[in-house]
Amino acid sequence: MKQALPRVGSLRFRLLAGSLVWILAALTLSGFFLADLFREHVAARLHAELRVQLDQLTANVEFGEDLRPRLLSALSDPRLQKPYSGLYWQVDGEGAHGIGHLRSRSLWDTVLTVPADRLDDGQVHIHRIGGPDGATLVMMERVVRLADHPGLPLRLIVAVDEQTMEGPVREFVGLLVLALCILAAGLAAAVFIQVWAGLAPLRRLRRGLADVRDGRSRALEGRFPDEVRPLVDEFNAVLGRDAEVVMRARTQAGNLAHAVKTPLAILANAAAAEDSALARLVAEQVGAARRQVDYHLARARAAAAVQVPGVRTPLRRALEALLRVMQRLHPDRVLSVEWRGAAGDAVFRGEEQDLQEMLGNLLDNACKWAASRVDVKVSVSGQGLVVSIDDDGPGLAPEVREAVFERGVRTDELVPGSGLGLGIVNDLARLYGGSVVLEASPGGGLRAVLSLPAG
């Protein structure tokens, strides 16, 4: 699935950019939300653990005979017995903050310094304080009064290293980022596939238009989604109307030419019946008028045909038909044709009648001037057709070769025959985006090279 990078102004770029920006924004916000939610969950678990430790400490503390606090039994968590393990407890007398009358083995020689805030009996406060080795601790404290000595309140403190919470949070965030990146890549791939599939009808539409332009089809064909179908129908309707207008214009041009040729034929017949200077002048002007009518009729027909998409003509069929005609018109000439490469299957992107006009005039000129033979070579070059017609006649001087393309210039006054001449061949070729060039033939005569667009 090879695709060029989308241009900034393209529909594909807009769809991709909009979708990707939305995906990134949604996943980023989701990541922050989930990380914060997990942090709150871990904090709640940590606070619950501290409350359990604080409740155990409350249940195990008592006053000794010397009125100093002591524990009835050690707390259950083994971390409290390991120095600087991250879990600590401490017992202070109310109003004697940071004395550490009694503390866990895990504190070793460190005394926790707690804020001097006021607590009601049984009330729990949570703070962040400094701990051993510069660690930050999450601390929970409570003031209690024992039943046997209600006048001696005790401040009970449990604390845990904040890294106990931050470690799992960091690990979760790392996994979350990885998961969101994988999800983003998957969603981005899905967006690319969705955009590619969604724009597939437009690609089919473009290929259909190319087929119409190149003459492979006369209308847009195939199944299109409901959103594109109205456009296809309207375009086909425009093509149909254009073809109808062109056909009507060509018919009118033919009718006009017929209407003009009829009185010209009457004048020519009348002039032929007389042998006078006036009759010869009339015959000459009637002939000139006929050539003008034929010339402009051919131009109008070709100009109209060029505007009609979907017109294609097999080259072999048209050329072989012309060669048979030329063989009958010039039986004393040897005609040969050579099809090079894939030229035998080549198709001309244009009207068959116009192709016959161009090839017919070139073949007729070659046969009239040839001494004995005419050679035709057909090849395909890039997106075009190349037809070379060589004769073994006298040829043309280089300075005359361009002049013969001008309308009204004739070099065959002494040679019988008729036709539109090289001027109309040149005009028709140009209308189709091609060209015709005259050059010296290797055999000593003239070579005409006709280049036309291929279908």
Tens digits of per-residue pLDDT, 95-117?
Answer: 554 455 788 898 888 888 888 88
b/e map 118-151, b = 16+ CB within 10 Å = eeeeeeebeeebebbeeeebbbbbbbbeeeeeee
**From CA 275, how far away is CA 283, in angstroms rounded?**
11
Mean pLDDT along residues 251-268: 75
- How many whole angstroms separate alpha carbon 437 and alpha carbon 451? 9
Ranges 75-79, 229-233, 338-342, 416-420: which has the least confidence: 416-420
Residue 57 lies in a domain: yes
SS3 406: coil
Residues 319 and 289 placed together within one structural domain of the fold = no
Has residue 217 been placed in a domain?
no
Is residue 318 located within the same domain as residue 292? no
Give the model's pLDDT for residue 306.
59
Same domain (yes/no): 255, 334? no
**C-alpha distances in Å from residue 448, one per residue of 378, 382, 398:** 12, 19, 13
Q: Write down the pLDDT at residue 1.
A: 42
The H or E element spanning position 143 is strand 136-146
Supply the mean pLDDT for the chain.
82
Of 311, 303, 309, 306, nearest to 253 (Cα)? 303
What confidence tier does 47 reach under pLDDT thresholds 50, 70, 90?
very high
Determine the 3-state secondary structure of 454 from DSSP. strand
260 and 359 inside one domain = no
Residue 216 resides in a domain: no
Same domain, 176 and 239: no
Q: Which helix (H) or strand (E) holds 180?
A: helix 163-198
Regarding predicted confidence, which is higher, 394 or 410?
394
In the listed set 198, 221, 256, which residue is the last one of a domain according to the structure? Answer: 198
19 and 167 housed in the same domain: yes
**Cα gap 429→352, rounded to integer Å:** 13
Q: How far apart are CA 230 and CA 209, in angstroms?
A: 15
Residue 307 resides in a domain? no
Best mean pLDDT range from 32-36, 303-307, 337-341, 349-353: 32-36
Q: Which domain holds residue 8?
A: 1-198
Q: Does pLDDT of 160 surpass 50?
A: yes
The count of structural domains within the chain is: 3
- pLDDT at res. 302: 62
Residue owning tokens 């017109």: 311
Most distant pair of Cα atoms in the chain: their distance: 163
Q: Where residue 358 sits, what CATH number does that domain have? A: 3.30.565.10
pLDDT of residue 98: 45
- What is the DSSP-derived secondary structure letter of residue 6? P
Residue-level pLDDT at 4: 55
Domain identity same for 37 and 175: yes
- Identify whether 209 is part of a domain: no
pLDDT in tens, 400-450: 877 777 655 555 543 444 335 788 888 888 888 889 999 988 878 899 999
* 377: pLDDT strictly greater than 80: yes
Percent share of the chain, pLDDT over 70: 89
Lowest mean pLDDT among 199-208, 339-348, 391-400: 339-348
Q: Report the distance separating Cα 450 and Cα 355, nearest Å.
A: 11
Among 265, 298, 331, residue at a domain's last position: 298
Please check whether residue 215 lies inside any domain of the structure. no
Looking at the fold, whether 341 and 437 belong to one and the same domain comes out as: yes
Residues 23 and 113 in one domain: yes
> What confidence score (pLDDT) does residue 415 get?
42
pLDDT band at 41 (very low <50, low <70, confident <90, very high): very high
Question: In the prediction, which pLDDT does 92 show?
Answer: 85
Higher model confidence: residue 120 or residue 451? 451
Strand (E) or helix (H) holding 35: helix 11-60
Which of 175, 198, 221 corresponds to the end of one domain? 198
Is residue 35 domain-shared with residue 137, that is, in the same domain?
yes
User: Picking from 130-139, 153-162, 276-285, 440-449, which range would have the lowest pLDDT averaged per residue?
Assistant: 276-285
- Tell me what the mean pLDDT of segment 256-285 comes to: 77
Q: What number is the average pLDDT over the span 269-292? A: 78
Same-domain pairing of 63 and 192: yes
Clarify whether residues 125 and 16 are in a common domain.
yes
Statement: residue 189 has pLDDT above 90: yes
* DSSP notation for 71-130: ESS--S-GGGGSTT-SEEEEEEETT-TT--SEE-GGGTT-----------BT-EEEEEEE
222 inside domain: no
pLDDT of 126 strictly over 70: yes
Residue 46 belongs to a domain: yes
